[in-house]
Chains A and B, each alone.
Chain A
Amino acid sequence: AQSVAQPEDQVNVAEGNPLTVKCTYSVSGNPYLFWYVQYPNRGLQFLLKYITGDNLVKGSYGFEAEFNKSQTSFHLKKPSALVSDSALYFCAVRDRNAGNMLTFGGGTRLMVKP
């Protein structure tokens, strides 16, 4: 069975500093990985995805993520955090062997302080 772990419930960072939100996954086949962001009382917004190719994926709002097959990780990064980046972030994985369904991590709350 596929699974996703987001080991940090909350990440605190000062505005202007780089941020990292961690994600590790477990699948039996090739992983297809996604990051979503959720603002309070809203639906999820797609940020980026890794399907194949370059391990560094660039997405919306200046976010990027690095796929690391040996560490089974897909950490979300941004060089310079904004207060408006404060939100709940979800990592998700798909695996052909699991019927193509998305499995989500538990979410990480990012708090960016001025």
Chain B
Amino acid sequence: DGGITQSPKYLFRKEGQNVTLSCEQNLNHDAMYWYRQDPGQGLRLIYYSQIVNDFQKGDIAEGYSVSREKKESFPLTVTSAQKNPTAFYLCASSTGAGIYNEQFFGPGTRLTVL
């Protein structure tokens, strides 16, 4: 999984609670991304960041928040406003957001709402 770590691997949350998923990379990549994966569906982009202290909403940002205070770190908070948060969450990074650059993925965090 190439220098990208995500923690925890499994996370259980009660309804109404906020939880934060960690993503760290030591690849010196500028761009970082958060995706959500549901069974039978491809990945959907939640948020992305092309540079420190800047981030943009993806296709399904509602109910999520992020920060990018350090180049290495891009934590994702799943808030109580997210109606159906149970899913597999994947973090990725790339050298830049340029069109040629492939993304490298972390091992994922499986979030289950009880």
- In which size bucket is the chain B interface? 20 to 34
Q: Determine if A94 is an interface residue (Cβ-Cβ < 8 Å).
A: yes
| Beta-carbon contacts under 8 Å, B67-114 to A | 90, 92, 97-100, 102-108, 110
**Known interface pairs A106-B42, A107-B42; A42-B97 also in contact (CB < 8 Å):** no
Count contacts on A: residues with CB < 8 A to the other chain.
24
Chain B interface, DSSP helix/strand/loop, else mixed: loop
Shortest CB-to-CB span from B4 to chain A, Å, is: 7
Q: Does A57 contact B (CB under 8 A)?
A: no
Which residues of A sit under 8 angstroms from B98, Cβ to Cβ? 100
With A41-B108, A102-B45, A104-B42 as given contacts, are A46 and B103 in contact (CB-CB < 8 Å)? Answer: yes
A101 surroundings in chain B (CB, below 8 A): 45, 48, 58
Which residues from chain B contact A42 at a C-beta distance below 8 Å? 1, 107-108
Task: Give A9's nearest chain B residue, CB to CB.
Answer: B40
Residues of A within 8 A of B60 (CB): none
Bound CA–CA A9/B39 (angstroms): 11
A94-B42 in contact (CB<8A): no
Contacts A100-B97, A101-B58: A45 and B105 contacting too (C-beta < 8 A)? yes
Residues of B within 8 A of A (CB): 1, 4, 6, 40-45, 48, 58, 90, 92, 97-100, 102-108, 110
